[in-house]
Each structure stands twice: as C-alpha cells, then as structure tokens.
Amino acid sequence: MYCLAVDSGNSFLKWAFFKNGRKLELNRVSNRELHNLYSDWRLLRQPDTIVVSHVSGHDVQNQLAQLFNMWNIQPNWIKALPRQCGVINNYTDPAQLGSDRWAALIAAWNKFRDACLVVNIGTAQTIDVLSSEGVFLGGMIVPGPYTLKKSIQYATQISLENDNYCFQIFPTNTTDAIYSGIIQALVGSIERTMRLFQQCQGYSIKHCVISGGGHAELLPHIDLKYIVIENLVLEGLLLIAQNKERY
C-alpha cells in the first residue's frame, strides 16, 4: 500500500510517503509556500490512500484539496473518534479533540502500550496523558516558545529576535528574564503534569514522548526521562490509514 500522510499544522505542513509502512519520502513546507508541494507530489507514484490531519484554517484546507486533485482519490481528513487503534478518547465531545493530538496519541500508544505523556511543541504546546490502559485522560494546550516570544514582543515592544538573550536560573537583565520565564513556564507545565498524574492515578508515567519543531529549546531544561520522536503525528496517521484496530 502506498500512503501519503499529511500533517497540516498552524505554521508548517509535514508530509511523508510510505510503501507498505516503510517511509520513502519525508519533507515539510511553510503554510505560506504550499504551492511548492505540487512539484514534489507530482513526482510521487499515485497513492492508494491519503490521510490528513488538518488543524489550520480553511484557506490552507482549500489549497490542499486542490493539490489532492492531481490524483483520482478521496483524501481521509481524519477526526478524533471515541476509540481507534487501541486508544480510548475521554474528551467530553471526542470529535473536538484536535486530529493532530489524536494521531500523536495513537502513535505513542502503539509504540509503548503503557502510560505516556505525549508532548508536542510547536505554535502551541500540547501535553496529553495516556493511562496504562490506553485511555486518553485529557490534556492541556499552552502557547509554544515562538508564540510566547511574539506575544511578549507585541505586549511590551521588547524584542527577542536578535539572539540577545540566554537562559539563566536567576536572570539579571530583562531579555534574559523574559526568555528564562518562557522556558521555565513551558518546562514547568510538562513536569507538573507528570507529578499530578502520579498523585491522581497512583502510579508513575514511564514514557514522556516529545515531538514538534520547537522542542530543541526546551530539551536541555527538562528534568525527567524523555524520548524524542520526530513526526509523531505522521506515524499515527499511517497507523490510522492501515486501520490496525489493535485492542
């Protein structure tokens, strides 16, 4: 089976082309340059299936729909389900869970089959919790590193764009204070979620899975065991496309 998996995020689109589960191509493009996909995709063999996680706006979705028209195939724009690929969705309205978060949870569960903290660091930072039974217990969304930097700049006119700052435990100038505060807040939300899980569930999470384009800034400051899995959403999309209902 040839599968085109597309992770359409708020700022970037990532895609992978698989043959029988083996990755043949992998790339990403800014949402401002989606037109460049045509030259890449027209070189691909026609996929048997196209599976898409889309969390960006309607304009991006319309552009993608036009690009998919180069093949005579209907894309699968996934939505979170009450249960799929071994994961049980505990959201009050399961369909409201972002498709990217759902695909990432499916990928993490099918890799570890154990309690997981699934963290994706991009335009937003999502922190989602899987129980040892494969139940998505819930999660949180906070602004990611880049978004927080731009927000501070907009609110205070203090720029963090010239690399004139660094992380300090006790910062002694304003730009270091802002940047260090951003790092501490984002890392703190991850570590606090880990502690609260143990308090509420009575056992520890063994696996913290981190993905997303903004993770590099946070990793040196995370004081817990973690594993980085690039393109976690794409891996989950492949599982969904393969329809491996493994309970």
Task: Give dist(CA 102, CA 51) in Å, integer.
Answer: 13
Residue 245: predicted pLDDT: 38
Q: What share of the chain in percent tops pLDDT 90?
A: 92
- Domain positions in the chain: 2-77, 113-145+174-231
Residue 30: predicted pLDDT: 95
CATH topology assigned to domain 113-145+174-231? Nucleotidyltransferase; domain 5 (3.30.420)
For 40, the token pair is: 């890449």
Residue 186: predicted pLDDT: 98
The answer to whether the annotation marks 99 as part of a ligand binding site is yes
The answer to whether the annotation marks 8 as part of a ligand binding site is yes
Cβ–Cβ under 8 Å, residues 5 and 100: no
Give CATH for domain 2-77: 3.30.420.40
**Would you call 38 exposed, middle or buried from its count of C-beta atoms within 10 A (0-12, 13-18, 19+)?**
exposed
Half-sphere exposure at residue 106, Cβ-oriented, CA atoms within 13 angstroms = 33
The answer to whether the annotation marks 101 as part of a ligand binding site is yes
Residue 63: predicted pLDDT: 96
Phi and psi (nearest 5°) for 121? -115, 105
Cβ–Cβ under 8 Å, residues 153 and 132: no
Residue 141: predicted pLDDT: 97
Residue 125: pLDDT band (50, 70, 90) is very high
Residue 199: predicted pLDDT: 96
Residue 126 in this model has a pLDDT that exceeds 60: yes
Query: Which strands, in side-by-side order, build the sheet including 49-54?
Result: 22-30, 12-19, 2-8, 49-54, 76-77
Note if 114 is an active site residue: no
Residue 246: predicted pLDDT: 37
Residue 220 in this model has a pLDDT that exceeds 60: yes
Condensed to tens digits (0 to 9), the pLDDT of residues 139-168 reads 999 999 999 999 998 899 888 877 789 999
Condensed to tens digits (0 to 9), the pLDDT of residues 21-73 reads 999 999 999 999 999 999 999 999 999 999 999 999 999 999 999 999 999 99
The answer to whether the annotation marks 13 as part of a ligand binding site is yes
Task: Give dist(CA 57, CA 16) in Å, integer.
Answer: 21
Whether 113-145+174-231 and 2-77 are alike in CATH topology: the answer is: yes
> Residue 55, SS3?
coil
Query: What's this model's pTM, rounded to 2 decimal places?
Result: 0.93
The answer to whether the annotation marks 59 as part of a ligand binding site is no
Residue 243: predicted pLDDT: 77
- Exactly one of 48, 93, 100, 176 is catalytic; name it: 100
C-alpha to C-alpha distances, 35 to 2, 38, 41, 60, 148, nearest whole angstrom: 23, 6, 11, 11, 29
The answer to whether the annotation marks 14 as part of a ligand binding site is yes
Across-strand partners of 87? 84
Query: CB under 8 Å to 23, separation ≥6 — which residues?
Result: 16, 17
Residue 160: predicted pLDDT: 84
